[in-house]
Amino acid sequence: GAVVSQHPSWVICKSGTSVKIECRSLDFQATTMFWYRQFPKQSLMLMATSNEGSKATYEQGVEKDKFLINHASLTLSTLTVTSAHPEDSSFYICSARDLGLMQYFGPGTRLTVL
């Protein structure tokens, strides 16, 4: 079955630093990947759509300069949280869409900003 990995699975960083999260589709190519954020006991909220070879599209209210997305290949998308602050602490989940338009979710990255 389709497998999506994320790295790291968890990260703790100091306020003001930047954190990069990788999302990889291991056994299929994904022209489109999605980045979600989930706060405790809440639902998943779409942050942005990552398109291979083009700029990401961001949802309303998500700062594109703060959450940098790069989709450099058909199997890799990265999300960089720049100048992270405690309010950015959350569970970040990516999904990759296959040719059948099904989304497969990664295991998530838990970010804690001190």
Partner 1 sequence: GQQVMQIPQYQHVQEGEDFTTYCNSSTTLSNIQWYKQRPGGHPVFLIQLVKSGEVKKQKRLTFQFGEAKKNSSLHITATQTTDVGTYFCAGPRDNTDKLIFGTGTRLQVFP
Residue 97 binding partner 1, by CB under 8 A = yes
Dist CA 73 CA 28 (whole Å): 12
Positive or negative, the CA dihedral 49, 37, 104, 82 is positive
User: Which 24-43 positions form the footprint of partner 1 (CB under 8 A)?
Assistant: 32, 34, 41-43
To partner 1, the closest distance from the beta carbon of 56 in angstroms equals 13
Three-state secondary-structure class, residue 58? strand
Contacts of 24 (CB under 8 A, 6+ apart): 4, 5, 6, 7, 75, 76
Helix H or strand E segment including 49 = strand 45-51
Residue 108 binding partner 1, by CB under 8 A = yes
Of 12, 26, 102, 114, the one binding partner 1 (CB under 8 A) is 102
* Residue placing its CB nearer to partner 1 in the complex, 58 or 75: 58
Residue 49 binding partner 1, by CB under 8 A = yes
Residue 101 binding partner 1, by CB under 8 A = yes
Interacting residues with partner 1 (CB under 8 A):
32, 34, 41-46, 49, 93, 97, 101-108
